[in-house]
Amino acid sequence: MTTKAEFLERIRDQMRTTPGLFPASAARRPEHPAAEAETIRRELVERWPETLKTFRLEFERVGGVFHRVASLDAVPAVVGRLAHEREARELVTWHSAALGADLAQALEACGLAVHQMPAGEVVGTERERLRAIAARADLGLTGVDLAIAETGTLVLVSGAGRPRSTSLLPACHIAVFDRTALVESLRQVGVILEAWHEAGAPATGAAINFITGPSRTADIELTLTRGVHGPKEVHAIFVEQDIRG
């Protein structure tokens, strides 16, 4: 029987063979989160091209697929192509207010049956019905609240019009974002989350999902399998034009 010490040492051995890991350290809690978050945003106005380049590199390194388009109007064409390649028929999407635009008609023109989540909170049997739709959908389309360059991670805050099921249940998750979602590091994310908590935004009391590439599961022999507990594919579509104007 493997002891706890032996088990942890095996993990350490595997970590030593992984290239490019950065040192971890505890970050201080910001005294003035809103002011610090604004400073981060202001600095990223100048640095976002380099930040996007790093995000793409890390996102692709963890198995994500990156796309870049000029405006939101070009997003349905990318989604339609992905649907055609996968013979996908059904798509579930965040509500247009949460996504930043109403793309339903353009997506339907691509031959997809589009299920848009309602704007308000749902409960009981209606909630179960919508979850079943998400579970059978081939594609899930969401926005992105933060995109972390350091790790290639997408951060999604759930809430009314933006349920977790949209990104977690379909086999292929497609996330749309612009430069305003970009941050450089996990440290910056901590500051912004504190600022959001103070302001009660973007969705008070909601769950926050950190998505780093497709779902991965490894058994005791370290055989890696994708898609057991989430999407097999994660696509990020970067929109050059700011989504919210």
pLDDT digits (tens, 9 = 90+) for 138-197: 999 999 999 999 999 999 999 989 999 999 999 999 999 999 999 999 999 999 999 988
**Nearest-angstrom CA–CA distance, 230 and 85:** 20
139 burial via Cβ count (<10 Å: 0-12, 13-18, 19+): buried
Query: How much is the pLDDT for 226?
Result: 59
Q: What CATH number was assigned to the domain covering residues 30-239?
A: 3.40.50.10420
pLDDT of residue 205: 56
Given a cut of 50, the residues of the chain with pLDDT beneath it are none
- Give the pLDDT confidence score for residue 22 in this predicted structure: 61
What is the per-residue pLDDT for 33? Answer: 87
pTM for the model stands at 0.85
